[in-house]
Structure 1
Amino acid sequence: MITMVDVEAAARRIGGRVRRTPVIAVAPEEPESTPEVWLKLEMLQHTGSFKARGAFNHLLAAAEQDRLPPAGVVAASGGNAGLAFAHAAGRLGTRAEVFVPTTAPPVKVARLRALGAEVVQIGAKYADAYRAATERATEHGALFCHAYDQPAVCAGQGTVGLELLEQTRGELDTVLVAVGGGGLMAGVATALEGRAKVVAVEPENAPTLHAALAAGRQVEVPVSGVAADSLGASRVGDIAFAVARRTGVASLLVPDEDIVRARRTLWDRYRLVVEHGTATAAAALFTGAYRPAPGERVAVLLCGANTDPSDLAG
């Protein structure tokens, strides 16, 4: 579990290490019926996603407690989390080893190496890489870095919520957040607890939080679809589930076709390039899966841009 105290401590700790990403007001197309909407451009963060916040907080918190070992850090991720931990480790002058499945896209493997990480490709699935990474961290005494289910990681992600609240002068009712493992949602919901509600948005083909809330416990779900590269966790994290229940986060599901359409809309209308996981949050608003009340002040958190933009040309 994390609290506001953890998020505020994270904000102090990572200040100057991460970017303060902009917020833009979206002009409503139908002024009489459309609420005030902001887009938080967190995809402009270091390494192209919000993950840099949690990565820096995790490593800096460990360093404060003299728990950042000479063996460095070990993570399992071929995606945004791996890039963030590699970036943070490089900036802090420590070694990073990232385990990825053999199916990881070569471009992501190349980016990890360009950031100075040692990349180990093992197994056909993320679970195989995760198991190997935890074993390596234990054997070598390295700091293990979880993509979404460690307190310092979640608290670091929550700093984007504090920043958003500041940038909207506290005049905010609702934030739409895409959910995979739930680290971002957990941090933001904690940061905004008692101030604004958080609505989780998930692909129909990866309903980790939705299924957990319906069952009253965490459950494994099959994962597929266009956003599986970034929202591909098969089970929502312990911290995310606890925070969602404590703060009353609700989950909405959107189909792949709406995610694809929302990603295209963000490009066509605002010239914003985002990954499909990020477009998931926008899809709920653009397609009416989430219908704001009259005058409701809504923010959509655009959390990542590590995508191939070639299909947006034209």
Structure 2
Amino acid sequence: MEQQLDRRLDYAAVRAAADRIAGAVRPVAVVPAAEGVWYALEHLQHTGSFKARGAHNFLAAHRRAGTLPAAGVTIASGGNAGLACAWAARAQSVTATVFLPANAPRVKVERLRGYGADVRLVGDRYARALAACEEFAAESGALSSHAYDHPLIAAGAGTLLDEIRTALPGLDTVVVAVGGGGLFAGIATAAREHGVRVLAVEPENCRALNAALEAGRVVDVAVESVAADSLGATRVSQTALAAAQEGDVRSLLVPDAAITAARRSLWEEHRIVVEPGAATALAGLRAAPPEPGERVAVVLCGANTDPADLGGGAPAPGLE
């Protein structure tokens, strides 16, 4: 059915996404944090993460194209993408069937069910849940979405960049955490249009983009990090790799200890609670501080977490 939809990811796709999601998502709040540094508070978005943007864009585009089936939509997700898909599906009055690994965070599973999704727990890795999702889509005719690897998903995420630039004129650099690459690909695409630099930050042991850049192609990586529940993709999307190769992008790796410390400092200094994946971006900025006069925005991309573990935690298996 997707043959009728434009599958390119370019700035025109990001602008089209902005039109589709206008009024449906919360415009990002951008607040000063330190000299030359602002936080983009996308963790306050519907469903608790940036993924609401891509999910709404994906379904709205299919609705307008007449390609949204009666069987609804299905997705395999470690949590945040599933939440966004279920939220967007409810808004479109269609069914969402969400496949997750059985070890997905409890808070995310409960919220999924709260959005009315049919939640199916399969295996202990994202790949197992994805295989079950694909089988379900083939049998039911449901529209198959993806946690990150789709141009409509990435374009929706990319709308963040223009909102940040509107709130912060003269933006020089945006700092973003990278998992499978949907958020990064969208933001990097829009950033390239406006000459904005991108600092792409990953945990040392969830380095799908960094490894792809090193190899010159998409490769599989091992996954083990405190941020793996949202950044633990075993491979980055081809679209994300292309965006990194074409734009003014720096790839940076940070250790889990730095992620945990950044997450704790957000709470202790600002009373901001985010998941480790979101704190990964701040950990990157701490490792690569802004130059004098540079205006930097750090994207705090998600808050679906248990505040009780702000003191740290053990590495988690990759989920999405």
Q: Match of 2:188?
A: 189
Equivalent pair of 2:77/2:100 in contact (CA under 8 Å): yes
Counting only pairs closer than 5 Å after superposition, residues 243-254 of structure 1 correspond to structure 2 as 243-254=243-254
Q: Which moved more, 1:7-16 or 1:118-127?
A: 118-127
Q: Match of 2:85?
A: 85
Q: Match of 1:126?
A: 126
Distance of 1:103 and 1:312 partners within structure 2:
20
Q: Secondary structure at the match of 1:192?
A: helix
Cα deviation for residue 113 of structure 1 reads 1.0
Distance of 2:155 and 2:24 partners within structure 1:
15
For residues 280-308 of structure 1, give each alpha carbon's deviation from its aligned partner in whole angstroms, at most 9, with x where no partner exists: 0001222xx21322211111000001111
Counting only pairs closer than 5 Å after superposition, residues 48-63 of structure 1 correspond to structure 2 as 48-63=48-63
Q: Which amino acid aligns with 1:15?
A: A
Cα deviation for residue 133 of structure 1 reads 0.5
Q: Which amino acid aligns with 2:34?
A: A
Residue 270 (str. 1) matches residue 277 (str. 2): no
Q: Match of 2:113?
A: 113
Q: Secondary structure at the match of 1:38?
A: strand
Residue 300 (str. 1) matches residue 298 (str. 2): yes
Q: Match of 1:235?
A: 235
Equivalent pair of 2:177/2:278 in contact (CA under 8 Å): yes
Distance of 1:157 and 1:136 partners within structure 2:
26
Cα deviation for residue 104 of structure 1 reads 2.3
For residues 175-201 of structure 1, give each alpha carbon's deviation from its aligned partner in whole angstroms, at most 9, with x where no partner exists: 000000010010011111142111100
For residues 133-187 of structure 1, give each alpha carbon's deviation from its aligned partner in whole angstroms, at most 9, with x where no partner exists: 0121122111111000101000000011111011112x10000000000100100
Cα deviation for residue 121 of structure 1 reads 1.6
Distance of 1:162 and 1:194 partners within structure 2:
10
Q: Which moved more, 1:45-54 or 1:139-148?
A: 139-148
Counting only pairs closer than 5 Å after superposition, residues 1-314 of structure 1 correspond to structure 2 as 1-28=8-35, 36-169=36-169, 171-195=170-194, 196-286=196-286, 289-312=287-310
Give the TM-score normalised by structure 2: 0.92
Q: Match of 2:315?
A: none
- Please tell me the root mean square deviation across aligned C-alpha atoms, in Å: 1.2
Q: Secondary structure at the match of 1:211?
A: helix
Equivalent pair of 2:79/2:105 in contact (CA under 8 Å): no
Equivalent pair of 1:78/1:109 in contact (CA under 8 Å): no
- Give the gaps of 5 or more residues in structure 2: 1-7, 312-320
Cα deviation for residue 239 of structure 1 reads 1.2
For residues 186-236 of structure 1, give each alpha carbon's deviation from its aligned partner in whole angstroms, at most 9, with x where no partner exists: 001111114211110000010110010011111111000100011010100
